[in-house]
Amino acid sequence: MDTLSFQIILIALFAMASQWVAWRLKIPAILFLLGSGFLLGPVLGALNPHELMGDFLKPAIAAAVAIILFEGSLQLHFHELRDTQRVVRRITLYGAPIGWVLISVAAHYITGLDWPTAITLGGILVVTGPTVVMPMLRHARLNKRVASVLKWEGIVNDPLGVIFAILAYEYFVSTTKGISGLSFFAENGVTLLIITLLSFGAAHLTKRIFERGHMPEYLKAPFLVCLVLTAFFSCNALLYESGLIAVTVLGITLTNIHTRSIEEIKRFKETTTLLLVSGLFLLLTADLELEALLNLNWKSFIFIFALLFIIRPLTIFISTLGTNITLSEVIFTGLIAPRGIVCAAMAGIIGPLLVKSGFESGEQIFPIAFAIVVISVTLHSFMVKPLAEKLKLTSPEQNGVMIVGGYEWSIQLAETLKAREVPVIIIDNNWSSLSKAKLADIPVYHGELLSDETEFTLDFTAYNTLIAATPNPAYNALICENLAHEFGSERVFSIMPAEDSKSERRKISHSVQGQPFINNQITLERLYTQFNEGYRFKIARVGKKDDELIIPENTDSNVHTGIIAKSGLVSFYTQDPTSVIAPRKDDLIITFTQNDGAEEAAES
């Protein structure tokens, strides 16, 4: 096997291994990606990005960053700004420039960088990478308000910071050539306005193409990738690195004008982004030179400390004065600001350009920026969840059950789960179906689960299991397909209306229909009939005696429905034999039974 093939295999294996280990340990994957890249590159020398990609390395990194930023901008819905609009506006409009000034001053006086280099570095460090912020938000389970602020800031500030840095670089290079500052800013300001308008127009044109059937479904995602790359590199030709502004405007516009098929496209792009982020972190870390990092002195580390614990909190405090953001939210937002791919990539590009233009201290930009990326990602990965919990900014643990369909049996199942402190909600668009649930003090939601309004108003973060129990098999499958992406395909269940409707299930693709609830024999008609005959959902605790578990027998009249583990996690049974959950002592077995055999077993 040749060396290049071996390096590609290393990237693929270590990228996926890092993501998997992070998932198992519930630690942000960026830490493992950084460690893997450092091990493969500077330590072992097994991965050499320049040897692998040559002159294609920098354009490839730039293109990947553009796709990552575009995918992130697709997640920015204006409805999220209902509670945070003023805060986000202040942090981006005021916080970014304030941070730029404070960072530049600190870089000049603490590290001794000349003003052109310090101001350029200040622009780069304004960014808070969405590629690392997003996983941290999921890991910490922040409440919607704080998560929205950090998400918007991360994605909006990425192109802003790049533009700050590029404008600073171009300005100082231009002034050495005798070009006046007024002429420089007038020309580039007009260019940025044109780029923004063109991106806005491209988004509306894309929507029209999609909605009028001029583009088949299977070509929509590839078309958008081509559009992003075309917009990015074309705009860069007009103004260096302005392509990031273009792709951000393009993504935000596409998602907020409700472009058809955009949700399906998001899923494809999330997968693509995961691969790109993993590969990029490995490549950038492997490309490090140990000598460059060793050149960092104590002044650099004082600057990094000041940036993370003084400048950033001060910037957030100043920019949010007069808003309704709480002190806890200010503290958290001020202390959590990891830098990511864009920061490292831009520092690697613009540092050599400064040196080439005669600013010798530009060689310090990349080592300082990369040290900030490593330190901020490592530090914030470990502190984000404890800090959020300390400040009481976390959402409830995701362990709830969402039941679509209000019936007597589903209400009784919800009561059983609620009695064991399992979050549960019943959803139906028929108000009369929910009246009994409300009388039983079960949380309900009246509305269409798949509507935009539900996505805006219903908090999905408390739930990780879905039971689709409407009389419409196709609608059940549609619900399962949509929520399988969020909950996992093994945690979405559907129930057929009756025995004679099972033929309809076979017509629905197995990949979208959801798991059978309990088994293939369970139907809405059977549940209705058995409930009227006296069947009820009950709880039995798993006991132990003489090293044998005491478990109620699973029979036709005492059906095992699921398990509530000692940790509180709820798992339902399904038809697939491999899905059978092995009960352990003190777990709770959920049964659907007609007799009293489901009473709690005695504990040994």
Mean pLDDT in residue range 490-495: 90
359, 390, 421: which is the final residue of a domain? 390
Q: Are residues 405 and 371 in the same domain?
A: no
Range among 140-154, 304-318, 394-408 rated most confident: 304-318
Q: Which are the contacts of 329, defined by CB distance < 8 A and separation ≥ 6?
A: 145, 146, 149, 391, 393
Q: Are residues 221 and 298 in the same domain?
A: yes
**Does 258 map to a domain?**
yes
Record the pTM. 0.70
Residue 552 belongs to domain spanning: 400-593
What is the β-pairing status of strands 558-564 and 588-593? antiparallel
- Model confidence at 108, pLDDT cuts 50, 70, 90, reads very high
Q: Which are the contacts of 465, defined by CB distance < 8 A and separation ≥ 6?
A: 400, 401, 402, 487, 491, 492, 493, 570, 572
- Measured CA to CA, the distance from residue 211 to residue 535 in angstroms comes to 49
Question: What CATH number does residue 66 fall under?
Answer: 1.20.1530.20
- Are the C-beta atoms of 368 and 111 separated by less than 8 Å? yes
Q: Are residues 418 and 363 in the same domain?
A: no
390, 418, 439: which is the final residue of a domain? 390
What does the pLDDT read at residue 292?
66
What does the pLDDT read at residue 114?
92
Q: Are residues 183 and 330 in the same domain?
A: yes
Q: Are residues 420 and 378 in the same domain?
A: no
Q: Are residues 365 and 425 in the same domain?
A: no
Residue 574, token pair as written in the block: 């399904």
Residue corresponding to tokens 């009227």: 532
**Does 104 map to a domain?**
yes
Q: Are residues 42 and 160 in the same domain?
A: yes
Question: What CATH number does residue 525 fall under?
Answer: 3.40.50.720
- Model confidence at 135, pLDDT cuts 50, 70, 90, reads confident
**Does 600 map to a domain?**
no
**Percent of the chain residues topping a pLDDT of 90:** 25
**Does 598 map to a domain?**
no
- Model confidence at 316, pLDDT cuts 50, 70, 90, reads very high
Q: Are residues 197 and 276 in the same domain?
A: yes
Residue 130: pLDDT over 90: no
Q: Are residues 121 and 227 in the same domain?
A: yes
What does the pLDDT read at residue 282?
85
The mean-pLDDT minimum among 190-194, 218-222, 582-586 falls in 582-586
**Does 204 map to a domain?**
yes
Extended strands (E) in 432-580: 444-446, 463-468, 492-494, 515-516, 536-541, 543-545, 548-550, 558-564, 570-572
277-311 pLDDT tens trace: 788 778 878 877 777 667 788 899 999 999 999 99
Q: Are residues 358 and 426 in the same domain?
A: no
Residue 511: pLDDT over 60: no
**Does 575 map to a domain?**
yes
**Does 395 map to a domain?**
no
Number of domains in the chain: 2
**Does 602 map to a domain?**
no
Q: Are residues 365 and 491 in the same domain?
A: no
Q: Are residues 90 and 131 in the same domain?
A: yes
What does the pLDDT read at residue 271?
73
Mean pLDDT in residue range 385-408: 86
433-470 pLDDT tens trace: 888 898 889 999 988 887 766 765 677 777 889 999 99
345, 363, 390: which is the final residue of a domain? 390
